[in-house]
Structure 1
Amino acid sequence: MANILIKAATVVNEGRQYVTDILVKDGFIERIDANIDVHADEVINAEGLHLLPGCIDDQVHFREPGLTHKANIYSESRAAVAGGITSFMEMPNTVPNTLTQDLLEDKYQIASRNSLANYSFFMGASNDNLDQVLRTNAANVCGIKVFMGSSTGNMLVDNPNTLDKLFAQSPMLIAVHCEDEATVKRNLNHYKELLGENIPVRLHPIIRSEEACYLSSSLAVELAKKHNTRLHILHISTAKETHLFDNKIALKDKRITAEACVHHLWFTDADYETKGNFIKWNPAVKTINDRDAILQAVLDGRIDVIATDHAPHTLEEKALPYLQAPSGGPLVQHALPTMLQLYHQGKISLEQIAEKMAHNVATCFRIDRRGFIREGYWADLVLVNLNKLWNVNKDNILYKCGWSPFEGITFDSKIAYTLVSGNIAFANGSLIEGNHGNRLNFNH
């Protein structure tokens, strides 16, 4: 493993910026000092570049096994690394659903062979696999995933007794997708009666409504408070939901945390006109008021982390009529550039981006020695050029599905280097393959 010396980087870490050198040795940050003068196998001149801790994405769908015509762990981890995401946590609604310990281990084996980024996988919960869920090892699995609202596949957990037992007995973090199924079905049936099969995509946020989200999120919070469960609510999409969360408790002491996704911080319902099914997500992109309120909750600490919910589908699938087109879109390559664009717009600071995309994810999930730029920590690092314009187009999109909802957008910031567990995995526009990411470990 090469020793790497990063010279004169502007480090963005733990609420401050400063220029320093960093020595990486045997996968770890060996030394942080203003002037390190040692021999290294590789020297990166980082003058004028900003060094952030590698992003940790706590919600991705990489589609393997069973849906690899859309994506796979190899293809999407490449895109993640090119976007400055050094670690990911992947969801269980693959085919077959990850509902047994054997199926969970199968995914870890695939990632150990193929993933360029560090990895973890959620154990899936259903209405009848509590025994398998309770066997999950909290030391090397990120959490339990519960769909409290069917998004994709058949993993809806809607049995009240099952939910109560899950929240009562789970010894580890439960991450939830919250949309009330009965409300969504009622709204959908209403518009089917009015419009038949010709429902326009602009009605997506009305069908998968604020009410549906809030009913489910508030139930999850209620269950977590009842049982003192460690709860993490994914992809908050409404202003109303942001008031379920507290910013007066230190993150390390919080029992209930929340995530915002980049698409809910960027797009609004006005974008359905031009983007159509390409911004069809569950939960839906909603109003400009919702978007701005979510960002405010990120800034004031009610929402703790920023992630992607990366969920690719093929162009053919997205071209189907609204009712047939699946929800989800690819995001890992463009998540950090999107947040850096919001920085350029004066909406968020670089320190807050590092906090919400790295520090807080590591704290929230208690990840072992990652998410911070500290001596003795794994060298998961991303160097960005804040002043290098580039346009998102088909030629530079790395997702297997070949498209992005950000196509045509010019970003002001570009990823220059990404280091994964001490190896250079991306440099100046090129992926450097040959090294694999590591399985994440957790301190419980």
Structure 2
Amino acid sequence: MFKKAVRWLNASPPRILLSGFALIILFGAELLRLPIASVSGSSMSFVDALFTATSATCVTGLVVLDTGTYFTTFGHWVILLLIQIGGIGFMTMATLFALILRRRISLKERLVLQESLNQGSIEGLVRLVRKVVFYALAVETVGALLYTFRFAADMSLGKAIYHGVFHSISIFNNAGFDLTGDFQSFFNYSEDIYMNVVSMGLIIVGGFGFVVLADLFDFRRRNKFSLHTRVVLSVSAGLIVIGTLVIFIFEFTNNRSIGSDGFGHKLLVSLFQSVTTRSGGVATVDVSEFRQATQFFMIILMFIGASPGSTGGGIKTTTFAVLVGAVFAMIRGKEDVVLFRHRLAQERVYKAVTVTLFCIGIVMLGTMLLATTEDAAFLKILFEVTSAFGTVGLSMGLTGDLTFAGKCTIIMLMFIGRLGPLTLTYALGPKPGRVLYRHSEGKIIIG
């Protein structure tokens, strides 16, 4: 039995990824259950520890226990380690240690790494790993210094450094965990332009993806961007601008959120929520007080999510771009999907459609399950499910009231959202056999 399990796990890179993430989550949950991890000195329930470990490893940010007040310094560092491993990827970390120890990276390890980083080939993967780690540590260091400078005005220098490091790693990895206490996120900094700009910068950079970051850093040498980078940058910018405008317009007269605030504060809050909805997980206002139209629009943004190879979730910006391109091509009567004067292979379009339909199906199933186990409004449940699947971490207040079955459902959604539905399907599905024939072509009426 044990040998069969080992053979199953080693059969394909997706299975190794799945088992690796699962083992890290279970190990993290056991560490969080230790009495030394909680302020009370008592062990937390296994499901709460599993929920927290999954949320940290899958860089989501949904919490059933307040991170700042419930956990000790030891618990914080366990959560931070899980965030770092989950954000960069455990295979990236393993490859880094192998490089440090001067161990040769095998072909199988390169294939797993390729799956982990969502790359098209194994060429240049080790070089990319070095860049990933360097860029991540560089951005996190800068973020920690910027946060420390601001926190030092409110607390002692030692505590400011501690908070600066924690929030920099958490927010760059789009995890959304914070130490502010009482589930307040960044509510106290809603009018602080400095904190808003630093946080939005970390979320945006973390959501670009390491391939895009490498392209940005190499721009001066190459003097051009790849098609992938151009699509990511343009779609990300477009979604941020559109999101800001929609939230600003819908909430302009809503006195429960920002209706009574000044014009500048309204614009700042709208911009921050547009950015963080894409996978950041921190908030400067209570999103449960937004109008239902705004909340539903935020669900759409969370479903789209960040970009491939990043720390964020969702169907990804490139998938959204391909779908929009396919719609425009169909409307104009064109056969090819063209982005920035580049024709996309039909396989890319099929994959985009498949990913989107899979994700819609998972969100629908998760919503139906949660609507069965939880006594809450439908939009509140849909928001929670999409936030978990998109590894966003925003909540309308349902997370803390989840039943045992509800917590298990959200745990599975966070896990699937971080791995990706296709990776999970490839891992659990049978190995595809060789197709020896093609069926005759048929026609059906569409529309």
- Tell whether the structures are fold-level matches, with TM greater than 0.5: no
Query: With structure 1 as the length reference, what TM-score do the two structures score?
Result: 0.32
Structure with the larger helix share: 2
Larger Rg: 2
- By relative contact order (CA 8 Å, sep 6+), the higher-ranking structure is 1
Structure with the larger strand share: 1
Query: With structure 2 as the length reference, what TM-score do the two structures score?
Result: 0.31
